[in-house]
Amino acid sequence: MRNLYCTPFVFNATSYEEYRDGRCIGKGNVSMKIISKTKDVDGNWPYKFAFFHLEGDLPMSIKRNFGIPVFGIAKGDILEDRIQYGRIPDNVNFNDPTDPVVCNIFSNKTCIRFAMMSPLRIVEFYGGFELIGE
């Protein structure tokens, strides 16, 4: 997983599943790309963010452009079965329920998951990587 950590990528998603309260509330086929680049940012910690752009059809409610903080390997960004950018915050009330706060990239390289708040829900995209690295 270290070779994918903080590395730009393009992921072709062909299907999705959306969950809320442990229940599937939507699923189906999609034709979309998830494009990611990690960049250093000036200002307060964290100093690095993973920026995402979702291109194509989005039958679920999720932002097309957003950034998620990268905390670092020493702070638990690489887990046994996935990379995790961002964390679920203590404050569960967010102004924008379409703004992802966590991204999981699974080691099987066929699933990318985003978590959104207010209400807490996840969207899993299934497919494969078109490009890893620039």
49-83 pLDDT per residue, tens = 999 999 999 988 999 999 999 999 999 999 999 99
Enumerate residue ranges in the chain where pLDDT < 70.
44-46, 91-94
Beta bridge partners, 27, equal 17
d(CA 114, CA 85): 10
**∠ Cα 41 44 48 (to 5°):** 35
Residue type, position 50, single letter: A
100 CB contacts (<8 Å, ≥6 apart)?
52, 62, 63, 66, 68, 86, 114, 115, 116
**∠ Cα 112 46 13 (to 5°):** 15
- pLDDT in the model for residue 96: 82
Cis amide linkage into residue 89, ω under 30° from 0: no
What pTM was estimated for this model as a whole? 0.92
